[in-house]
Amino acid sequence: SQKIEQNSEALNIQEGKTATLTCNYTNYSPAYLQWYRQDPGRGPVFLLLIRENEKEKRKERLKVTFDTTLKQSLFHITASQPADSATYLCALDSSFQKLVFGTGTRLLVSP
């Protein structure tokens, strides 16, 4: 069966450290994968998209990797700040414009 797993329900790190979140999928062949941030009681906010032919993408303090052989994406936040505390969701396209989301990882950055 098809699955998307974010294998940490919660991640606690200290301010200034790098947070690394993992997204693994099975039985999908996505053309792209996305990462979103979701704050409590709010809709997701798009952060980054990485295509199947891209290994790595960066945006400011964010970095995403995509390994289609391992069927895994890693999401890094460098120099983390308390304001980065949120739930982070990975999502991939299952068919035209339809997204399938992972369960999310709740990140808590402590001062």
Interface with other proteins (CB under 8 A)? 34, 36, 41-46, 49, 89, 97-104
Residue 84 DSSP code:
G
Q: Which is nearer to other proteins, 40 or 111 (CB)?
A: 40
Least separation in angstroms between residue 95's CB and other proteins is 10
Smaller CB separation from other proteins, 13 or 48 = 48
Q: What are residue 50's DSSP bridge partners?
A: 33
Contact 90, 23 (CB under 8 A): yes
CB of 65 to other proteins, least distance (A): 19
